[in-house]
Amino acid sequence: MLDTQAYTSNGKVTNFDEMLRSDGSARAAYQELVTWFGRQSQASFEQKQQEALAIFSRLGITFAVYGSTEANEKIIPFDLIPRIISAAEWRFLERGIEQRVRALNAFLHDIYHRQEIVRAGNIPSDMVNLNEAFLPEMMGFDPPANVYAHIIGIDIVRTGDNGFYVLEDNLRTPSGVSYMLENREAMMRLFPELFAAHRIAPVERYPELLRQTLESVRPKYCEGDPTIAVLTPGIYNSAYFEHAFLADQMGVELVQGSDLIVDEGALYMRTIRGKERLHVIYRRIDDAFLDPLNFRPDSMLGVPGLFDLYRAGKVTIVNAPGTGIADDKAVYAYVPDIVSFYTGEKPILENVQTFRCSIEEERAYVLDRLDELVVKEVHGSGGYGMLIGPHATKAERAEFHARITARPSNYIAQPTLSLSTCPAFCPEGIDPRHVDLRPFVLVGDRVRVTPGGLTRVALKKGSLVVNSSQGGGTKDTWVLED
């Protein structure tokens, strides 16, 4: 089925391809897959594609597209061809990810206490204290086990054999882990013979390990086993499927703010049996909506008095309020310094070069090269509020020129990377598509990095945008075991 001459451009790979070398030969991790391709037909793959769609439809694996004129709920696009990462490559990534998340948690503890990194001049005071993601209400508070970010997604891109870069850190309410788990289950159903030919690190224990992580950060006034719940904004949230999925997989309740009440110095869940005490809340709502008595008074999503209980050590909120300061895209530019400051080590994983529009010289550079750079809002997500300069129109670049000039601190810019490609099943056959990777990390009594993570793929030919809201899809990620 696979014709390497058709897969590559004129027999040569035009950028770093994870399956084939520049001469068209298969890389070691993909050799078994390439051989297997030769035994498949286009018709059989098309049939498998229909089976995958049926599986995802039956399970209700959807995402919401805000502002879309089409149906709001859509089935997540799924690519049949797995992305494969060798054991050696994964060991390198795992070391770098663990180093990074330890440093980011140390940074969060520091900025909500003595701010030694600011005193040392490694990061400007205004970058922290005037940042809209900084939460003064967290000053001086020690969360259980001193863990602020318990569930983290680290977005990684690749540009070469050893060219791995962190594109973004996600420490607020990272999503996508349900797609990782369902992608694996679908692939095991569709291609059991392909699994039998590889030794693949499992991801199925993630819900169990998530629950262990949540139990390990129980509040200090909890006696016995903690009661846990997932707090969701409700069915209209784009990640509601994931909220319900994780609650079900962990065997805990899925609740909304209206299901909870603060009474006599404790948090309770309303049930048909009466009130039930809760100790740990895995929240999937933003800081501002957590508690109308302490934050936005018009919030109907949170629980009045929840934050006061948290500060009193009566309940644990996961991730901790105020973690957003560590994944702010302007702060991102300082993460290599953050890693060095708190670990005393050189960062294992590098950042993408980042220009901060809040700095006059860097802003001037960005404004002069909007046709070359990717511009992002510092608090943007999901591919929104973003300019991809080389693919933008003159009018779009002019609009962003005005936006940056008006609010320079709201934007950063990065060079357009030549992202690696992986094989994807397309109408014309197997074709290379650009990908990124979001490994998921759990931090509690220890750091646990799930092997692989969620690979997002830009299904539009030539596109660099992998977000599902912008036409991207997902694929299973296989980490090979030695």
Return the axis-axis angle of helices 240-250 and 206-216, rounded to nearest 10°: 80
* Model confidence pLDDT, tens digit, residues 208-219: 999 999 999 999
* Model confidence pLDDT, tens digit, residues 94-122: 999 999 999 999 999 999 999 999 999 99
* Model confidence pLDDT, tens digit, residues 306-363: 999 999 999 999 999 999 999 999 999 999 999 999 999 999 999 999 999 999 999 9
| Residues 444, 213: Cα–Cα separation, whole Å | 5
Return the axis-axis angle of helices 177-190 and 206-216, rounded to nearest 10°: 150
Per-residue pLDDT at 82 exceeds 70: yes
By residue count, the chain amounts to 482
* Model confidence pLDDT, tens digit, residues 250-306: 999 999 999 999 999 999 999 888 899 999 999 999 999 999 999 999 999 999 999
Q: Taking residues 22-37, what's their average pLDDT?
A: 92
| Residues 278, 208: Cα–Cα separation, whole Å | 19
Q: Taking residues 40-44, what's their average pLDDT?
A: 87
* Model confidence pLDDT, tens digit, residues 131-183: 999 999 999 999 999 999 999 999 999 999 889 999 999 999 999 999 999 99
**Per-residue CA distances from 112 to 76, 158, 166, 306, 320 (Å):** 38, 34, 25, 19, 12
Q: What angle do CA 330, 308, 379 make, to 5 degrees?
A: 15
What's the pTM value of the predicted model, to 2 decimals? 0.92
Q: What topology does CATH give the domain 220-314?
A: Rossmann fold (3.40.50)
Question: How much is the pLDDT for 3?
Answer: 58
Q: Which residues contact 292 (CB under 8 A, 6 or more apart)?
A: 298, 299, 300, 302, 304
Per-residue pLDDT at 69 exceeds 50: no
Q: Taking residues 78-91, what's their average pLDDT?
A: 96
**Per-residue CA distances from 338 to 34, 140, 151 (Å):** 42, 20, 19
Give the tokens for residue 238: 């784009």
Q: Reduced to 3 states, what is the DSSP secondary structure of residue 432?
A: strand
Report the share of the chain in percent with pLDDT over 70: 92
Q: Taking residues 68-87, what's their average pLDDT?
A: 79
Q: How many CB atoms lie within 10 A of CB 171?
A: 29
* Model confidence pLDDT, tens digit, residues 417-476: 889 999 999 887 889 999 999 999 999 999 999 999 999 999 888 887 787 666 789 999
Sort strands 62-64 and 73-75 into parallel, antiparallel or unpaired. antiparallel
Residue 111's identity, in one-letter code, is I
Which conformational region is residue 305 in: left (phi greater than 0), alpha (psi within -120 to 50 degrees), or beta? left
Q: How many CA atoms lie within 13 A of 9 on its CB side?
A: 10
For the chain, give every domain's residue range: 220-314, 353-415
Which position has the token pair 């991790």?
29
Question: How much is the pLDDT for 416?
Answer: 87
Residue 107 burial (C-beta neighbours within 10 Å; 0-12, 13-18, 19+): buried
CA 338 to chain centre: 20
- The full DSSP string for 124-177 is -HHHHHT-TT--GGGTT---GGG-S-SEEEEEEEEEETTEEEEEEEE-SS---H
Question: How much is the pLDDT for 103?
Answer: 98
| Residues 36, 430: Cα–Cα separation, whole Å | 13
CATH class belonging to 353-415: alpha beta
Question: How much is the pLDDT for 72?
Answer: 58
Per-residue pLDDT at 52 exceeds 50: yes
Q: How many CB atoms lie within 10 A of CB 432?
A: 23
| Residues 237, 283: Cα–Cα separation, whole Å | 13
Question: How much is the pLDDT for 10?
Answer: 44
Q: What angle do CA 239, 78, 418 make, to 5 degrees?
A: 95
Q: Taking residues 30-48, what's their average pLDDT?
A: 90
Q: How many CB atoms lie within 10 A of CB 427?
A: 8
- The full DSSP string for 60-76 is T-EEE-TT-SS-SEEEP
Answer whether 230's CB lies under 8 Å from 243's CB.
yes
Per-residue pLDDT at 71 exceeds 50: no
| Greatest Cα-to-Cα distance within the chain, rounded to the nearest angstrom | 72
Answer whether 390's CB lies under 8 Å from 372's CB.
yes
DSSP 472: -
**b/e map of 187-201 (b: 16 or more CB within 10 Å)?**
beebbeebeeeeebe
Report the share of the chain in percent with pLDDT over 90: 76
